[in-house]
Amino acid sequence: MPNANARPKHGRRTRRRRREDPARNELVSSSLESAQQCLFNQDYGTAFVHYLLVLNLAPMFKDFARESFRFTLFKWTEELDSVGRIQELFDCYEQALELFPADEVILNSMGEHLFRMGFRDEAAGHFHKALKLRPDYPEARENFYRVANWLVERWHFLMLNDHGRNRKYQQAIQKAVQSGCNTVLDIGTGTGILGMCAKKAGAAEVYACELSKTMYELACEVLTANKMDDGIKIVHMKSLEMEVPKDIPQKVSLVVTETVDAGLFGEGIIESLIHAWHHLLLPPQRGENEFQDQSATGRVIPAGATVFGMALESLEIRRHHRLCVSEVGSLSISAAGELRSPVSCSPEPDESMEPYTTERLSRLPGGYKALTEPFTALNIDFNNVQELEGLSSRELQRIHLPVTQGGELDALAVWFQLHLDEDSSLSTGPEEDTCWEQAIYPVHNTKGFVLKPQDELVVEVSCRDAFLRLCSVAVLRDGHEICLDTLQDPQNTGDPVSNQTPEAELCTALACLQTEQNQTKDFCMLECSEMALLNNQEYHQSFSSALSKLISQMKVKCQNKEPGSGVQSDSADLLFVLDVSEGFSLLSLIAASHGHVKAFSSVEKVKQQEVLKRLAQSNNVPEQHLEFWLNNMEDEQGMLKRPSREKLWSAIILDCVETCGLIRQKLMEKASLARCLLEDGGSIFPAKIVVQGILVESDTLLLESAVQGQEATLGFNIAPFINQFTVPVHVFLDFSTLECRHLSEFVELFVLDLMESTANYTNREVKVQATSAGRVTAIPFWYQIHLDQEISVSTLSQNSHWKQAAVVLQQPLRVQAGDWVRLAVKLQKSAISISAHIENPPGPMEQ
């Protein structure tokens, strides 16, 4: 076989010849030259193509050309992005990553594009890879920390730390396998834990599926580490797409799953189980025949669930879901029309609405008042496919609930008992000592309707699009039915109390119908945090005062500058205020309402702009004094209306803190840009932000951050893998109800001066004295936002729409009362990190 021997030599010769191929070399060098020329001419698209050619033909240029290639890629994809050529944008990134698969800068940048396009899981995967390649790369670190919560949701830590739940699931699975269920499918395996329980219990075949790519990869790592990668076949798929024998060779006798959220059905368990019963599970056991061979029939763990509900009053829920004030920052807002949070069980659900939100009732700021006893809303048997299928078509169920305590009806709360099998169940109730949140169905339409102890509340339970929906529809009072829907419309003068005669009932029904129509026409949706912001009078009042101070100072300055020009009210005299807040903001309108001010708002959504226009009109703000900045971007006419160069902004309002409790990304960059755009004497609002914090001992925060303890989880090695997704900064925290012990006074951690570029630093050492002994596990932090020298608002205030954040220390720090703790506070980009050390380590004698 002479040829066989000759082949490698031939190969080598060809390769050598390739490199020396003069035509090829010529092409490479001319392409390289063209790439550089195009780059110089800012023709990034062509430059990119030339670079691709060069680097594919001559990989040895990779190191040399890396920087210019990256630059070209970023410039070109920026252009593609701006004209919406998204597919091409991602194609470019993919080509770039084929050339530089381990380039953290390209990975991170692709992640940013993915994130902006809404592909959060994929985005987070890219940031994670970039960070693994270069753990000290600040851009990737910040991006990763911001998205890790989506990638591996925080409840994974809670669940794995919930030993009671783990053990109950393990026991139920063990019992089922031992009774003969020897082929098992784990739907939504997460870290792989339930599948591993089945294998360990002795199941012959175990399969698992997981739809999230990150979780699937994590589960693969976990199975390998536990030497179960041979024993459990895992696929990266949604169970609904699985087929026998393509994805699993045979139907299984047991499905285990915990694909339930606080509202039970939110993860699609009904659909998954209907599909599983038709395609993946052996037929169910018939009747009560205990002796049927378990390996020839199918069953599900959990076997079913009971859903409970309860009506409640809670100011905290109210202020996040409906408008509670009629005046904000000296503006009357009664003309705003109907404003709603996106959480609604309305009869016409649309894509942007969610039927419920979640809260841990036991941690609700201000607590809550139960207005009824808990009631059973639904019972569901997961082993009965007809029942599962019948859920959606099931008739509306009307439940009458005696009101036990008077109060304002703000929400219906829902929780459930998950029956793992006939002997064992888990509860997600508010009184339980578990980590689970409850589902909250806010009530929008009762406009402060107060329930009385003798009333009966009528609740409708339905199950449309496989979501459980609860809706308070009426109140029975003194034999009359008060339809809660008719209260929606403040203009509705009709008597909401029906006399029970068929005619009157018909009228009420008609009235309800009519209001529904008006409602869809008129209402404007605001995020829950935007609603809470609108309800925050203190915040708006502070802004109004600070603006009014600035405006009068500027007016005085103007008059001094142009003596004799008299009082004019033409546009030359106007002050210009720009509000670049994210989302819905009234601040531009508040500014405009001070007179002699032309304000520019960044509100983008048309419906929200309409609300502002309505409010401008009802508050006598001239139409031309409120403009929408972003509407003008593409329209040259509009651009011309912007203040001319000499007439720069008197005030620029920056939105500094995200609702989750973190400083907004690129805040300091925005501030320096804003400083350049200010007229003499003008101001940025806020002028300064002070970050404040406190040392605390909080086990809750630890449990939500990482799998705790040295012990294996149910005997499996899971913690080190999932803990890679630990994020040192915890967001959306409510400090007022956090279970923790305070170990110090409040302390100033950091100052960000938005008006003064030179005043800023990135590292600071702070000393704080422990006030009692304990383990410092976390440092919650928040912001004092100084609008000017005198006026400030705190993100910790009771009415705040902001939540707090906390740095969770990698290692708890033991302190004694009186110890000095040295905190090294760092601001990288806009992310805060803190490390803590004892300043005066106790000597051996003191220990």
Q: Does residue 261 belong to the site contacting ligand 44T (CB under 6 A)?
A: yes
Using an 8 Å Cβ cutoff, are 268 and 254 in contact? no
- 34-93 residues in contact with ligand 44T (CB under 6 A) are none
**Cβ proximity to ligand 44T, 329 vs 442, nearer residue:** 442
CA angle 153, 159, 162 (to 5 degrees): 150
User: With helix as H, strand as E and coil as C, how does 366-396 read?
Assistant: CCCEECECCEEEEEEECCCHHHHHHHHHCCC
- Kindly report the CA angle at 261 between 255 and 264, in degrees rounded to 5? 75
Nearest approach in angstroms of CB 660 to ligand 44T is 19
- Would you state the structure tokens that stand for residue 290, as one six-digit string? 């205990």
By beta-carbon proximity to ligand 44T, the closer residue of 184 and 187 is 187
Q: In this structure, which amino acid lies at residue 3?
A: N
**Total residues contacting ligand 44T (rule CB under 6 A)?**
25
Q: How many CA atoms lie within 13 A of 418 on its CB side?
A: 23
> Is residue 702 within 8 Å of residue 783, measured between CB atoms?
no
Give 259 or 744: the residue with its C-beta nearer to ligand 44T: 259
> Segment near ligand 44T (CB under 6 A), from 166-174, 238-246, 395-403, 745-753?
238-246
Q: Does 604 bind ligand 44T (CB under 6 A)?
A: no
Q: How far apart are the first and last CA of the chain?
A: 80
- Which CB atom, from 272 or from 297, has the smaller least distance to ligand 44T? 272
Selected from 86, 133, 225, 240, the binder of ligand 44T by CB under 6 A is 240
Q: What is the CA radius of gyration of the chain?
A: 31
Q: What distance in Å separates the CA atoms of residue 448 and residue 847, rounded to the nearest whole number?
A: 59
Select the span of 209-217, 398-406, 518-526, 633-641 touching ligand 44T (CB under 6 A).
209-217
635 to each of 48, 222, 417, 628, 642, how far by Cα in Å?
31, 55, 57, 12, 11
The Cα 498–Cα 519 span in angstroms is: 22
Half-sphere exposure of 249 (CA within 13 A, CB side): 6
What minimum distance in Å lies between the beta carbon of 717 and ligand 44T?
A: 19
Asked whether position 190 contacts ligand 44T by CB under 6 A, the answer is: yes
Q: Is residue 428 within the footprint of ligand 44T (CB under 6 A)?
A: yes
Q: Closest distance between ligand 44T and the C-beta of residue 191, in Å?
A: 9
Residue 412 or 418: the one with the smaller Cβ distance to ligand 44T is: 418
268 contributes a contact to ligand 44T by CB under 6 A? yes
For 309, 481, 504, 510, the CA distances from 477, given in Å and listed in that order, are 21, 6, 16, 21
Kindly report the number of other CB atoms within 10 A of residue 723's CB atom.
Answer: 15
Among 201, 256, 262, 687, binds ligand 44T (CB under 6 A): 262
User: In this chain, which stretch among 256-264, 673-681, 752-760, 807-815 interacts with ligand 44T, using CB under 6 A?
Assistant: 256-264
Give yes or no for residue 239 binding ligand 44T (CB under 6 A). Answer: yes
579's tokens:
């509000």
Q: Which residue lies nearer to ligand 44T by CB, 209 or 694?
A: 209
Site string (319-358) toward ligand 44T, x via CB under 6 A = ----------------------------------------
426 lies in the binding site for ligand 44T (CB under 6 A): yes
Residue 194 vs 333, nearer CB to ligand 44T = 194
- What is the nearest approach in angstroms of ligand 44T to the Cβ of residue 439? 8
Pick from 581, 589, 588, 591: nearest CA to 549: 591
Stretch touching ligand 44T by CB under 6 A, among 8-16, 205-213, 394-402, 590-598: 205-213
Other CB atoms within 10 Å distance of the CB of residue 16:
10
Which amino acid is present at 185?
L
Give residue 133's identity as a one-letter amino acid code: L
Asked whether 784 and 542 are in contact (CB, 8 A), the reply is: no
Which residue's Cβ lies closest to ligand 44T?
188
CB 458 within 8 A of CB 474: yes
209: contact with ligand 44T by CB under 6 A: yes
Q: Is 307 in the site for ligand 44T (CB under 6 A)?
A: no
Q: Which is nearer to ligand 44T, 189 or 515 (CB)?
A: 189
Determine the interface stretch with ligand 44T among 252-260, 374-382, 444-452, 756-764 (rule: CB under 6 A).
Answer: 252-260
Packing angle between helix 104-116 and helix 120-133, nearest 10 degrees?
160
Q: Please check whether residue 807 is in contact with residue 832, taking contact to mean a CB–CB distance below 8 angstroms.
A: yes
Cα(187)–Cα(748) distance, integer angstroms: 48
Find the helix or strand (DSSP H, E) in which 768 lies. strand 763-769
Q: Is 691 in the site for ligand 44T (CB under 6 A)?
A: no
- Out of 88, 112, 267, 495, point to the residue binding ligand 44T (CB under 6 A): 267
Shortest approach of ligand 44T to residue 806 CB, angstroms? 21
Regarding 436 and contact with ligand 44T (CB under 6 A), the answer is yes
User: Which contacts (CB < 8 Å, 24+ apart) does range 33-42 have?
Assistant: 35/65, 35/68, 35/72, 36/68, 39/68, 39/71, 39/72, 42/75
* CB of residue 704 to ligand 44T, shortest distance in Å: 13
- Contact in structure between 315 and 369 (CB atoms under 8 Å): no
Angle (CA) 600-601-606 rounded to 5° is 130
Q: Which stretch binds ligand 44T (CB under 6 A): 260-268, 394-402, 498-506, 734-742?
A: 260-268
259 binds ligand 44T, rule: CB under 6 A: yes
* Residue list 394-423, contact with ligand 44T (CB under 6 A): 418
Q: Which is nearer to ligand 44T, 48 or 721 (CB)?
A: 721
Q: Which stretch binds ligand 44T (CB under 6 A): 186-194, 341-349, 476-484, 647-655?
A: 186-194
Q: Which secondary structure element, helix H or strand E, spans residue 429, and what is its range?
A: none
Residue 104 found at the interface with ligand 44T (CB under 6 A)? no
The piece of 78-86, 92-100, 129-137, 258-266 that touches ligand 44T (CB under 6 A) is 258-266
CB of 167 to ligand 44T, least distance (A): 14
Pairing of strands 678-685, 649-653: parallel
Look up residue 383 and give its two tokens: 């082993």
* Residue in 31, 170, 212, 593 binding ligand 44T, rule: CB under 6 A: 212
Strand, helix or coil for residue 132? helix
For the bound state, the minimum distance from the C-beta of residue 166 to ligand 44T, rounded and expressed in Å, comes to 11
The footprint of ligand 44T on residues 215-234 (CB under 6 A) is: 215
The residue from 437, 455, 627, 819 that contacts ligand 44T (CB under 6 A) is 437
Binding footprint of ligand 44T on the chain (CB under 6 A): 155, 187-188, 190, 209-212, 215, 238-240, 258-262, 267-268, 272, 418, 426, 428, 436-437
